[in-house]
A and B are shown apart, each in its own frame.
Chain A
């Protein structure tokens, strides 16, 4: 790419891992603080906590909407570009919900309404957690089987874990909630993050040559992989942002954050551990 070079010859493995380690610790602290406050590492959205989400396109202001829905447990009115509005309501009983849908049908017939009951949300949440755990374990098993040595495999799994932890912490900071869509995005990150890690490990352990050259070669390939994916994700983010497609907007935002921290974790954390491993006499 030629924009910036990757030369880690002069840095010791310890230097390389120090920045990501500090970030990982901060992320884990943020996640545990959030767990203490909300019961989940990432604040659950309506999909998991229950409630009603309404998407509508209207020129009515936020204040007008708040007056219209004053009789209902309105939590939040989000505003997008192009007059899009995202309303969130807390859980309500059947009668109130029916009257809400009647009001929406009359005033904003073009709305999209999604309602999740509290117990259904809880079930979805536990399933999502199970899915994340199983995915992570499954990924670790594949990685360990394919490399068959502890340190390199551990480095890949650790970077994937750091990717998810940092992304989750960033979600809390930016204000993206955990929904079905963002859970899918986190799962997708497992796949993306492992991609460049496997390339790196493969190049370093299975090729002949100087360590530093192999690292640089891997970086050249890896950074194109990540930047092309980032470019595709940005395109998706922009379209969904202007077009008010919330689920795709959330998925692409999470992927974007994840891909950026993945650069850090692959080329500092994973590369640092691999360098230490090779210098210590592992590999060839």
Chain B
């Protein structure tokens, strides 16, 4: 091939597009968002938990979303139902409720009927809104503990009910992860009504921030913890305090803080605060814990309770896992080795068949460029590469080479190099086979890509992306390159 032909080849849009994409991918891997030479060949590619040290926990909501009908006014029905079920009942929309305590369908149905309603559907989980609240709370909690590399994902089905939430923490082992997430507490503030009776005021999700233990007034050696409520929390607090008489008679209407239904704090409103709450919403509150060392110790504990227990719904651990740093690194090296070895093997088999370096070289290079473009894409969208994704990449390598063989054989039909017009006809025919084959692969992977539940989502997305890159970019470019190679 002389210089002019090479220039013509590079000017072909298919070839130019391939070169631009490969260059952009290399840039994405190594220079976006920053250049990290200390990471070596990995560049900026993010790894999932099976390729680096870390732990994951899959939590299941102990709650359910039910479809319902009732002849009673909605307010009355919900209040009544909430009493009968002994838990909070949230209205999601006009025919769906969220019950924040676990009941089986068999146990729940008669209770709903006794409140004057009918269950039309039942599904374990919470509404999307509640799942988002839980996600935010968990993220906050993980962040305050200083674990930076964490991911919290709610897994919401097509019907908007989330049954699971998945937490991934890089750099910690299983026991630490369980300590951080597994022991989820449910924090609640209740108010004493009469005698031992209490009423719900707010959950931990109304608390927007918690301060460190401090002395109030400063230097008095009286300790406590300040915390801030959001607007809704403050108005719920005020409404409850006024309704049950805590603003007028604080001593008989203690405020209680509960973690996992266990009372961790109980005290009356101070005279000063009682007066303020009577007239306006107070967002900044201070829970006093007592004098001296004891008071300080209590304040430290209370701070942990205030920070940690905040989930409006109980959860249990549905699945979990962890990988050590050594094993993660080992898997990473093995995957790299598998990929390179697969590419070399493919090269040998192709060479054995065609015995023609000018065919084999472009084929292997096109195949490698597909992988580079996919890695660039993975790096760009900050996708976390895990073992199933690597299997997907190697699968792309396999289908990729298959289709390059189809193109080569269609064009080289009967061993002769065709004239340009015949060549284009044959290339089009080869591409039509490829498009159908690609269509079936994409369709076969779509269900996995849409399902939120499993770790195979990454595998499916990468396979689909690989097929698209192949059909749209690399295979047409290969057709053009092989033509130039053969017509010399």
Contacts and interface: CB of A to CB of B under 8 A. Distances in A.
A184 B388 contact: yes
A98 B178 contact: yes
Nearest to A118: B318
B184 interface: no
Interface size class of B (residues with CB under 8 A): 35 or more
Contact of B60 (A105, A117, A135): A117
A146 B342 contact: no
Interface in A217-260: 217, 220-221, 224-229, 231-236, 238-240, 243-245, 247-248, 251-252, 255
Given A139-B443, A232-B398, A221 B335 contact: no
A110 B327 contact: yes
B454 A225 contact: no
Given A105-B174, A184-B456, 11 more contacts: A57-B327, A135-B448, A139-B440, A180-B388, A191-B399, A202-B432, A221-B406, A224-B405, A225-B401, A245-B335, A248-B391
B451 A55 contact: no
Interface string A36-70: 00000000000000000001010000000000000
A118 to B, nearest CB: 9
A102 to B, nearest CB: 7
B240 to A, nearest CB: 35
Contact of A128 (B335, B390, B454): B454
Greatest chain B CB density within 10 A among A110, A128, A221, A245 is at A245
B447 A117 contact: no
Contacts of A135: 443-448
A115 B456 CA distance: 17
A117 B317 contact: yes
Interface string B386-410: 0110111011011101110110010
Contact of B445 (A123, A187, A194, A248): A187
Interface stretch (B63-71, B146-154, B262-270, B343-351): B343-351
CB-based closest 7 A-B pairs: A243-B334, A138-B443, A191-B441, A114-B321, A120-B318, A239-B338, A135-B444
A119 B409 contact: no
A101 B174 contact: yes
Contacts of A235: 338, 341-342, 344-345
B295 to A, nearest CB: 34
Interface in B411-469: 413, 429, 432-433, 436-437, 439-441, 443-448, 451, 453-456, 459-460, 463
Interface in A122-162: 123-124, 127-128, 130-131, 134-136, 138-139, 141-143, 146
A244 B399 CA distance: 25
20 contacts: A98-B175, A101-B174, A120-B318, A142-B440, A142-B443, A146-B439, A184-B460, A185-B391, A198-B440, A199-B406, A224-B353, A225-B406, A228-B401, A228-B405, A231-B345, A234-B345, A235-B338, A239-B338, A247-B391, A248-B387
A1 interface: yes
Interface residues of A, number: 78
Contacts of A229: 398-399, 401-402
Contact of B447 (A110, A131, A244): A131
Given A184-B456, A190-B440, A245-B387, A236 B174 contact: no
A111 B440 CA distance: 39
B336 to A, nearest CB: 9
B402 A225 contact: yes
B443 A141 contact: yes
Main secondary structure of the interface of A (DSSP, over half): helix
B230 interface: no
Contacts of B455: 180
Helix, strand, loop or mixed for chain B's interface?
Answer: helix
B133 interface: no
B485 to A, nearest CB: 18
A49 to B, nearest CB: 12
Contacts of B403: 195
Interface of B: 50, 58, 60, 163-164, 173-175, 178, 316-327, 330-331, 333-335, 337-338, 341-346, 348-350, 352-353, 387-388, 390-392, 394-395, 397-399, 401-403, 405-406, 409, 413, 429, 432-433, 436-437, 439-441, 443-448, 451, 453-456, 459-460, 463
A191 B459 contact: no
A228 B388 contact: no
Given A112-B323, A142-B443, A188 B395 contact: yes
A116 interface: yes
Interface of A: 1, 55, 57, 94, 98, 101-102, 105, 109-117, 119-121, 123-124, 127-128, 130-131, 134-136, 138-139, 141-143, 146, 180-181, 183-185, 187-188, 190-192, 194-196, 198-199, 202, 206, 217, 220-221, 224-229, 231-236, 238-240, 243-245, 247-248, 251-252, 255
A252 B333 CA distance: 17
Given A1-B353, A234-B345, A240 B447 contact: no
Nearest to B320: A115
Contact of B459 (A98, A184, A192, A240): A184
B394 A236 contact: yes
A113 B338 contact: no
B387 A188 contact: no
Contacts of B394: 232, 236
A149 to B, nearest CB: 14
B64 to A, nearest CB: 13
A101 B178 CA distance: 11
Nearest to B459: A184
